[in-house]
Amino acid sequence: MNSPAERNGLDVLICDEAHRMRQTSANRYTRAADRTGKRQVEELIDAARVPVFLLDEHQVVHPGEMGSLHEIEEAAAAKGLPVTTVSLDGQFRCGGSDAYLEWVVRLLGLEDGGPVTWEPDSKMELMVADSPEEMEVFLEDRRAQRYGARMPAGYCWKWTKIAPGQSLPLDVVIGDWARPWNVYGDRAVAGAPPAALWATDSAGFGQVGCVYTAQGFEYDWSGVIMGPDLVWRDDRWVADRSASRDPVFKKSTPDEDVDRLIRNTYKVLLTRGMKGTVVYSTDAETRAKLRELVQAEARAPEPVG
């Protein structure tokens, strides 16, 4: 919204991904005359007789994203407007497995109760890999069986910007294993699809995706690389902001915000797979904890043919 909308100009306005609302709608392209200073949530409420906000507070991954039930209720109350909250319990993400989604949010401490042992259901498969090589071989086998697969990771490695004509640098390095990040930008590079198509173009396999590329998409199998920005120590998760290479985290970003955003990042990455998820952590103690919770061994690829 780069120009003011007419008040109640719409009967119904559906705001998907509302957790990504910003403080204001203004950006560097907004004309000075259109910079009202009004909060984005207020603009959206004013634009329609019935504004509908669809949101998941655990998908806020960027400082400055303001979309929450509290923000919406507060803005509506200031205008004397009632709010009706509807919990969308049914979902199609992760094969429709409510048990898996519950396992993820409990794992990451986004809901009370602490991590629990994964109880396999008929909707989602969950495995832990001991190396990125093992994870990739497993996913390659699934691709040979005509399933889609991607490998997203926490933003824990540098992302080298390249000039036109250059090949993708192998920025994500774990031991002897190295792969490039997905393409940065809207042009394909050496057969790798542009960023917007990484999750949907089969050529996206082989590049490591970040949360900003994976968010909003699903694929059959997800191989999630947990980096050193979130590790298990003794009986709790520890977020290490110094291990993050995400440029959105500034010195002014409070530690508690960084902790929450990193956990939310892995919540997003762990909920992209529709058939199954393979998890690998670069940290040995974290892998041991994941193995404790996911007791089924990651299976070796079955012969194809």
**Tens-digit pLDDT profile for residues 47-100:** 889 988 887 777 777 666 777 777 888 888 889 888 988 877 666 678 889 999
Residue 300 pLDDT: 41
Kindly state whether residues 67 and 163 are assigned to the same domain: no
Kindly state whether residues 23 and 149 are assigned to the same domain: no
Of the residues 52, 78, 104, the one at which a domain ends: 78
Dump pLDDT digits (tens) for 239-285: 999 999 999 888 888 999 999 999 999 999 999 999 999 999 999 99
CB atoms within 10 A of CB 236: 9
Instruction: For the chain, give the mean pLDDT.
Output: 87
Residues spanned by the domain of 50? 10-78
Kindly state whether residues 26 and 142 are assigned to the same domain: no
What pTM, to 2 d.p., does this model score? 0.81
SS3 (DSSP) at 94: helix
Distances (CA, A) of 212 to 49, 79, 130, 195, 217: 32, 34, 26, 9, 10
SS3 (DSSP) at 53: strand
Kindly state whether residues 48 and 101 are assigned to the same domain: no
Per-residue DSSP letter, 159: -
Assess if residue 203 is contained within a domain: yes
Q: Residue 299 — pLDDT band, cuts 50, 70, 90?
A: very low
Kindly state whether residues 66 and 97 are assigned to the same domain: no
Residue 297 pLDDT: 46
Kindly state whether residues 274 and 186 are assigned to the same domain: yes
Assess if residue 136 is contained within a domain: yes
Structure tokens at 77: 């109350």
Kindly state whether residues 46 and 99 are assigned to the same domain: no
Kindly state whether residues 41 and 67 are assigned to the same domain: yes
Least confident of 104-108, 173-177, 296-300: 296-300
Kindly state whether residues 101 and 196 are assigned to the same domain: yes
- Give the separation between CA 12 and CA 106, rounded to whole angstroms: 35
Cα 132–137–143 angle (5° rounding)?
Answer: 125
Assess if residue 84 is contained within a domain: no
Structure tokens at 244: 């993050």
- Give the separation between CA 82 and CA 292, rounded to whole angstroms: 46
List 236's β-bridge partners, or say none: 233
Residue 174 pLDDT: 98
Count of structural domains, the chain? 2
Assess if residue 299 is contained within a domain: no
Kindly state whether residues 39 and 113 are assigned to the same domain: no
How far does the chain reach from its first CA to its final CA, in angstroms? 53
Per-residue DSSP letter, 57: G
Assess if residue 168 is contained within a domain: yes
Distances (CA, A) of 90 to 86, 105, 238, 265, 269: 12, 16, 32, 22, 20
Domain with 152 in it: what CATH number? 3.40.50
Phi and psi angles of residue 246, each rounded to the nearest 5 degrees, phi first: -70, 120
User: Looking at the predicted structure, is the pLDDT value of residue 104 above 90?
Assistant: yes
Radius of gyration of the chain, Cα coordinates, nearest whole angstrom = 21
Kindly state whether residues 60 and 129 are assigned to the same domain: no
**288, 282 Cβ separation under 8 angstroms:** no
